């Protein structure tokens, strides 16, 4: 079966543990066919789906969101470049938002983040009397705009 991979081969190619691959299969993110002996055989194109799952999780997407997007791809063959392109375009805004959030984290980690702790000297200037709490809980400067926008 040169067009398929065992679960061990798929794990080696993707860097994802076999237990995670079984979990992805249980959740409907990937599919395997079974041999007469009951062994899993994955189409080689499954490696791309696994890579998509891994990176979508790193960006912060839920498994439900990932499954919904992967369900838009054909189940009986490897998706074309155009089909992958359509899928990726729907995620572009979400990825851009996550990148912006990480940039705020990168530049603001040593400054006041608007969390309400008021433990840094700069908090008295950037978040006097914890006024950012009115916007909601958590690190408001990481979740929203820069301090000068508030």
Instruction: Report the phi/psi class of residue 139: left, alpha or beta, with left for phi > 0 and alpha for psi in -120 to 50.
Output: beta
Residues of the chain with CATH 1.10.1660.10: 4-98
Per-residue pLDDT of the chain (150 residues; tens, 9 = 90+): 468 999 999 999 999 999 999 999 999 999 999 999 999 999 999 999 999 999 889 888 899 999 998 999 887 788 899 998 888 887 888 888 888 888 888 877 788 888 888 888 888 888 888 888 888 888 888 777 555 544
Q: What pTM was estimated for this model as a whole?
A: 0.68
CATH of domain 4-98: 1.10.1660.10
Buried b vs exposed e over 79-94: b needs ≥16 C-beta within 10 Å? beeeeeeeeeeebeee
């Amino acid at each position: 079966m040169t067009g398929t991979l065992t679960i061990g081969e798929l794990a080696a190619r993707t860097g994802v543990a076999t237990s995670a691959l079984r979990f992805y299969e249980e959740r409907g993110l990937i599919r395997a066919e079974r041999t007469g002996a009951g062994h899993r055989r994955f189409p080689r194109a499954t490696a791309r789906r696994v890579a998509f799952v891994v990176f979508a999780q790193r960006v912060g997407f839920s498994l439900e969101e990932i499954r919904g997007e992967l369900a838009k791809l054909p189940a009986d063959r490897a998706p074309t470049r155009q089909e992958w392109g359509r899928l990726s375009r729907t995620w572009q805004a979400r990825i851009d938002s996550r990148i912006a959030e990480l940039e705020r984290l990168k530049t603001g980690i040593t400054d006041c983040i608007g969390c309400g702790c008021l433990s840094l000297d700069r908090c008295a200037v950037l978040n006097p009397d914890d006024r950012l709490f009115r916007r909601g809980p958590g690190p408001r400067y990481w979740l929203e705009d820069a301090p000068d926008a508030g």
